[in-house]
Amino acid sequence: MRPRSPYGLIETLDGEATALIRPYLTAYERQEERAARQRWRCLSLVMAADFGVDLDTGDVHATGAAW
């Protein structure tokens, strides 16, 4: 009797048990997100240094404070 190919089996593959995303795609997306955050930090630093843009999100001189 000759050995059979595993591709010719009668049973079907379970779609719920297989991964739909390849690991290198998620690694690429994470790398792109890190690069985008780095670009944003660099742009923020340039805006603050060159144009005097205040990047502080907390307003020290907030109006409407209770006395």
SS3 43: helix
Nearest CA to 40 among 51, 48, 29? 48
The pTM assigned to this predicted structure is: 0.48
Nearest to 43 by CA among 34, 32, 51, 29: 51
HEC sequence for 2-63: CCCCHHHCCCCCCHHHCCCCCHHHHHHHHHHHHHHHHHHHHHHHHHHHHHCCCCCCCCCCCC
pLDDT in tens, 48-61: 888 877 766 666 66
Q: How does pLDDT run across 6-50, given as a tens digit for each residue?
A: 676 667 767 777 767 677 778 888 999 999 999 999 988 888 888
